[in-house]
Amino acid sequence: MFEQIKHNMENIAGVAIYPILSLLIFFLFFVGLSLWVFSYKKEKINELSNIPFGNENLNDIQN
């Protein structure tokens, strides 16, 4: 079955660009996500990490 798919894909003109585009999209998404994570403000991370404890604990920590 794989031989049939391989044979059909070899006959399509310009099919070699799809793996390159897929890798490029993945890489750009990964780099963008990494930049977003590392540029996130420390105060916001602390605020979000205290959500499960409720508002009263959040006020105690900030004061």
pLDDT, tens digit (0-9, with 9 covering 90-100), for 19-29: 899 999 999 99
- Residue 20 is part of which domain span? 2-62
Q: What is the tally of structural domains in the chain?
A: 1
54 versus 43: the higher-pLDDT residue is 43
Is residue 57 within 8 A of residue 50, CB to CB? The reply is: yes
Tell me 32's DSSP state: H
Residue 9 vs residues 2, 17, 20, 48, 56: alpha-carbon distances, Å: 10, 12, 15, 48, 61
pLDDT in tens, 32-50: 999 999 998 989 888 888 8
Does the predicted TM-score (pTM) go above 0.85? no
User: Quick check: helix, strand or coil at residue 35?
Assistant: helix
CB 45 within 8 A of CB 56: no
Residue 62 — pLDDT band, cuts 50, 70, 90?
low
